[in-house]
Amino acid sequence: MTMILAGETAFAVGKETLVDITGVAVVVDEASASAREDGLSEAGIKALVEDRLARSNIMVLEEREWFSVFGGSYMLVKVIASKAVSGDRYAVYIDMELYQTVVLMGKRLGQNINTAAATWSIGKLLSCSSAGIKDCVLGTVSELTGLFIKDYVEVNTLKWKQEQERLEKQ
C-alpha cells in the first residue's frame, strides 16, 4: 500500500528549457542500504526511466556521452528513503533534475565558463511500506518521468508548429 503524505504535489519547474534537447542520459544516485535490502535497485530505476524515454522517441544517451552531444543532457534521479524505527515504512523523497550545459558569462571577454546546471526539476514526497518499496518508488518514478515527457513534447511541439507557420509565410 502506498500512502501519499498530506500536502504533496508534483509539479515541474523549467519546462521552457527543454526546447532542442536532443538526448538524455540517465544517472541514478545510490539508494540507502536498507531500501536496497528491501528490493529497491538503482539499475531498476535507471532501466525504467530509459525505457520510458526511448518509448517516447527521446534519444537515450550513455552516461558520459551527454556532454559531447549537441543538445545533450542528463537526468539525475535521487531517491532518499528513510526507514521508520518500526521497520515497516519508509518516508521517501524522489527528486528528478535535468542537467544541461550552461554558460556562465564572465565580466571580461574570455572569462565565460561552461558547466552543467539543473534546468528542469520535479520532486515528490511519499510514504511506502517496507515490503512494497520497490513498486512504490518505481510507480512514482514512472509518473514523474511521464511529467518530464509531457513537458518535453509540449515545448518541442510548440516550437515545431511555430517553425511550420514561419515557413508557410515565406
Degrees (nearest 5) of the Cα angle 120, 47, 77?
Answer: 30
DSSP letter at 131?
A: T
Beta bridge partners of 123: 95
Tell which residue, 78, 92, 75, 76, has the closest CA to residue 34.
92
Residues 6+ apart with CB under 8 A from 107: none
CATH number corresponding to 2-169: 3.30.160
Q: For every one of its 170 residues, what pLDDT tens digit does the chain have, with 9 covering 90 and above?
A: 444 444 355 556 788 889 989 999 999 999 999 999 999 999 999 999 999 999 999 999 998 888 788 888 999 999 999 999 999 999 999 999 999 988 788 777 678 878 888 999 999 999 999 999 999 999 999 999 999 999 999 998 877 777 777 777 77
Helix and strand totals (H; E) in the chain = 3, 6
Residue 16, Cβ neighbours under 10 Å: how many? 11
The ranges assigned to domains in the chain are 2-169
pTM: 0.84
